[in-house]
Amino acid sequence: MKGVRGLWIGPNFTIFVFFLVVALLEAFKEHHWLTALFWLACGLMFVWVDLRSGGLKPR
């Protein structure tokens, strides 16, 4: 999928955004900051995989 300014957005980046939203909702709603940190770490893992596989490079 093409993103902003021709940047190729891989599926792992989409999963990262999902995990980021879950983490923020959890943190603000329930004040469970460790759980939110866990979900954020899971999301960052997917971004890292996307960066290594070339999913976030201009095409």
d(CA 50, CA 14): 10
Task: Identify whether 35 is part of a domain.
Answer: yes
State whether residue 32 is helix, strand or coil.
coil
Of 45, 51, 49, residue with least CA distance to 8: 51
pLDDT score at 21: 86
What is the domain range of residue 14?
4-52
Total domains in the chain come to 1
d(CA 4, CA 23): 24
Task: Identify whether 41 is part of a domain.
Answer: yes
Residues 6+ apart with CB under 8 A from 35: 23, 26, 27
List pLDDT tens digits, range 40-52. Answer: 788 788 778 777 7
Task: Identify whether 23 is part of a domain.
Answer: yes
For the whole model, what pTM was predicted? 0.59
Task: Identify whether 33 is part of a domain.
Answer: yes
Task: Identify whether 34 is part of a domain.
Answer: yes
pLDDT score at 57: 60
Residues 6+ apart with CB under 8 A from 47: 12, 13, 16, 56
Task: Identify whether 43 is part of a domain.
Answer: yes
